[in-house]
Structure formats: C-alpha cells, structure tokens
Amino acid sequence: MRVMTWRGGGTFTLDRVSEPEAGADKVVVKMDSIGVCGTDVHITQGLFPSTPPKVLGHEGSGVIVEVGEGVEQQRIGERVVLNTTSHCGACSACTTWSESRCENADLTSGMFAEYAIAPSQSAVKIPDSLDLEQAALTEPASCCLSGAEMMRIDENGIGVVVGGGIMGLFTLAFLKRRGIERMVMSEPVKARRDMAKQFGADLLHDPSEGDLVEFIKDHNGGYGANIAAEAVGQPKLVAKCVEVVRPRGQILMIGVSPEESALPVDLYDLHYREVTLRGAFGRGDVFARTPSEIDQINLDGVISGKYELESVPQAIIDSGEGKGVKFVVKPNGYKF
C-alpha cells in the first residue's frame, strides 16, 4: 500500500509498504478521509515534539475491511472513525485523569496511508446519517467537547472564542450547547467569522476593527466574559483571554502553544481577580460519543478542500497558511 512518510521539516516521501494484516483484537480500515491537523503543521515547523521518520495523520475515517482474532466478523463493512489510542479502563490515568492518557494504550497506525491498523476498540462506528468526510472531524471535535465539559456554566453568561479554525468553531458550538447564553467569535478572517454563525455564534468580532476587551464590555454591560477560550496556540492570545474575562472568569486553552512557552500575564492580576486557567489537551473520555454530537451540528462547507495522498505536503502548507477551515486527505481517491 502507499503511505506518506514524514522525514523531518517539510520533507515527505511517498512510499510503498506491505499490505497491513489485522492481528488479534485489531481491524484494518480502508481510509476514506483524514483531516489535516494544526498539530501536523506544527510538527513540520518544529513547534510540536515528534521524531521522524513517521506516518502522520490522526483524524481519520473509513471502512473496516479485515478483522483479527477476537473481533466479530460482522464488523467488516462498518463505517468507522479511528481513535488514535485504546484505553484499558483500569490504570491510574484511566481512573483518575483521562482515557486518552491510558498508560497501557495501544496505538492506531499513522493515517496518511491507504489503510490503517487499529485496535478494534478504537474503531468507533458512526451514525448512518453522518458521512465519512464529516466523520473525520471527530478527533478535533472530541478535544473541544472534552474541554468544553471542563468548564463551569453560569446563568446568563457570555463566552468568547479566540480563533475561528475548526477547533474554535467546535469549542464555540459545544459551549453554546452546554448553556452559554451568548457566544462571541473573535477571528480576523471574514469567511471563518461567517462560518461561526452556523456553529452558534451570536456576536462576531474582527480584531482589526477594535479591541476585544472593549467589544465584550460594550455587549455585556461593562463587564468581561464569563469564559474565554483560546483556540490558536499563541501565548499572547492566551494573555488576551485573561484580560477579557471578568473576576472569577475562566480561560480554556484549546490551542496548543509551543513547548516551553511562557505565559505573558501579570500573575498578581490573575490572582487578584481569582481567574481560573485550564488546559484542555486531547480527547478526554468523550471520543466514542463525539460522532453523535457532531451529527447534530450543521457542518456544511466546513471542509474547504480535498487532497490526494501525494499532495499531503501541500495540504499541510495550505492548512498552516489558513487558506480554509478544514482540509482532508483522500488516500483512496475522491470525486470532485
């Protein structure tokens, strides 16, 4: 089969490797769609730790074509989305922290490939009403759902999301669905601001036209936001979220800042105003139910472009330059 191998920096090679075989408790999935993640971009830029050579891609959907010993034969033909890890449910991480941090996790193979091998548990059947391309959004959506469910929801609250990429859009949608009365999207790209409306945004802010702090106060009786979520991965924007919230407000870090980043805020101010700062990294315990959650959201137009397997390098460049909301790779071909 063909795989796209990352060799370091922005270098990739299109390679041929042996056809995969399903071992015990494993399945082989013919890949339909793999989302290009900001993490893939950051890996090629040296901003996220990873060691080449490696097959990247971790947001995939497809159809089970082979099962191993211990897996029911009727799973063949199932339309599934792939979790990147399994979980044992018994280790310290599973019982005290998060299934996605399982100490005994078994990994799904890299998904920028024609086929992937996954633990049967990690191949989650999707609703019949959810198409495979949109199902590939499950992994980023699960990270946002996990983060949104960490937050305390206040009555009559106002929330703001900074960054209108796919992570910001899903974070906005899940906070709104959890009960935030009014949600603000702050995003410089008009197409992304407009997209935020179908995800539940009540107010749109263009950072080139005015300060976000004043925008929030103007729409909230002179007070800051109850919740501010940063969905870009820039420390200065996390600092802006700290500035935006009211006393006892909450900040959610959805975007992944580079390793060893410092938080450029006044710690006295953070302390004095009793602000809560929370990180949300990964799928938590929600991956299996996320396909049903995103099936209730209007995802029309979210996928901005489709790329063949050999075009993975260009897809990563285009994603890094923010040329669309979400790009997917189609290793086994697609129809225009």
- How does pLDDT run across 55-84, given as a tens digit for each residue? 999 999 999 999 999 999 999 999 999 999
**pLDDT digit string, tens, across residues 18-55:** 999 999 999 999 999 999 998 999 999 998 899 999 99
Task: Give the pLDDT of residue 315.
Answer: 97
Read off the amino acid at residue 215: F
Q: Report, in this order, helix, strand and coil percent for the chain, each rounded to 5.
A: 30, 25, 40
In 3D space, the residue among 1, 33, 10 whose CA is nearest the CA of residue 330 turns out to be 33
pLDDT at 113: 98
Domains of the chain: 2-142+284-330 (3.90.180.10), 151-279 (3.40.50.720)
The whole-number pLDDT of residue 217 equals 97
Task: Look at residue 335 in the predicted model and tell me its pLDDT.
Answer: 52
**Is beta strand 79-82 parallel, antiparallel or unpaired with respect to 123-125?**
antiparallel
Q: For residue 241, count CB atoms less than 10 angstroms from its CB and return exposed for 0-12, middle for 13-18, buried for 19 or more.
A: buried
pLDDT value, residue 13: 97
Amino acid in the structure at residue 288: A
Tell me the pLDDT of the chain (336 aa) as tens digits.
999 999 999 999 999 999 999 999 999 999 999 999 989 999 999 988 999 999 999 999 999 999 999 999 999 999 999 999 999 999 999 999 999 999 999 999 999 999 999 999 999 999 999 999 999 999 999 999 999 999 999 888 999 999 999 999 999 999 999 999 999 999 999 999 999 999 999 999 999 999 999 999 999 999 999 999 999 999 999 999 999 999 999 999 999 998 899 999 999 999 999 999 999 999 999 999 999 999 999 999 999 999 999 999 999 999 999 888 999 999 998 654
Burial 261-291 (b: 16+ CB within 10 A, else e): eeeebeeeeeeeeebebeebebbbbbbbebb
Model confidence, pTM: 0.94
Q: What is the pLDDT of residue 336?
A: 40
pLDDT value of residue 332: 94
- Cα 130 to chain centroid distance, Å, stands at 18
